[in-house]
């Protein structure tokens, strides 16, 4: 964890300005072409959700601005925030799981699989809240191809600084599969250019997924 020196930070003016807002967050939604992932899913049995979660975290972590958080000691930059993701349960409710980040895609996907099974066994009997902020909040709406979405956020400067990500149902058109991908961030920490870099980097990772997930 690295503490940012606000006085010498190039974003000082923007940070202080947007920090006066009660809700400085904004949402950007764009379509990702996930055809390469669908190909691997069909040909090699790759689990789409586990694979997409890996690529999403890797894409987010590739941009320093997305690793910034507001803590008691000020703005800090984490090395590798982890995913905190929702799991749909049989009763129609959901649970929240956290898994450690690792660059090893197969180890990561195995950990995700284990956490999902554990969540289903405990039936949602887990406290949603924890004190960690070195994470990303993920949700998924595989039933709907949406245009955009927003997230409820607690009245907390710390929580406002945590990015929230959601993707929707992938749909086919002219032989290609695309899906909506939505990221909500605090403008106090993340401007439009670095957020666009997240989308570009994530798409590049999807394009290269056959190499990334090779056995």
Q: What is the pLDDT along the chain (215 residues), one digit of tens a residue?
A: 899 999 999 999 999 999 999 999 999 999 999 999 999 999 999 999 999 999 999 999 999 999 999 998 899 999 999 999 998 888 888 889 999 999 999 999 999 999 999 888 876 555 666 668 999 999 999 999 999 999 988 888 899 999 999 999 999 999 999 999 999 999 999 999 999 999 999 999 999 999 999 87
Return the number of other C-beta atoms located less than 10 Å from residue 139's C-beta. 18
Give, as one character, the DSSP assignment of residue 206: H
pTM over 0.85: yes
Pair type for strands 164-168 and 176-186: antiparallel
Tokens at residue 45, please? Answer: 């049995």
Sign of CA dihedral 87, 192, 57, 49: positive
Domains of the chain: 2-212 (3.30.559.10)
């Amino acid at each position: 964890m690295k503490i940012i020196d606000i006085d010498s930070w190039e974003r000082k003016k923007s940070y202080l300005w947007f920090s006066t807002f009660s809700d400085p967050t904004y949402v950007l939604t764009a379509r990702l072409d996930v055809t390469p992932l669908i190909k691997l899913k069909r040909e090699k049995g790759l689990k789409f959700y586990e694979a997409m979660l890996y690529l999403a975290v890797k894409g987010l972590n590739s941009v320093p601005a997305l690793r910034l958080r507001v803590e008691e000691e000020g703005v800090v930059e984490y090395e590798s925030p982890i995913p905190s993701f929702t799991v749909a349960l049989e009763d129609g409710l959901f649970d929240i799981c956290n898994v450690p980040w690792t660059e090893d895609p197969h180890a990561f996907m195995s950990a995700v699989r284990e956490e999902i099974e554990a969540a289903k066994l405990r039936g949602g009997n887990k406290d949603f809240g924890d004190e960690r902020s070195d994470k990303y909040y993920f949700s998924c709406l595989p039933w709907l191809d949406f245009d955009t979405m927003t997230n409820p956020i607690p009245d907390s400067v710390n929580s406002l600084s945590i990015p929230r990500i959601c993707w929707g149902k992938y749909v086919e058109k002219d032989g290609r599969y695309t899906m909506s991908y939505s990221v909500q961030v605090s403008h106090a920490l993340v401007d439009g250019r670095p957020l666009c870099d997240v989308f570009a980097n994530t798409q590049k990772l999807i394009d290269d997924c056959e190499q990334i997930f090779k056995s």
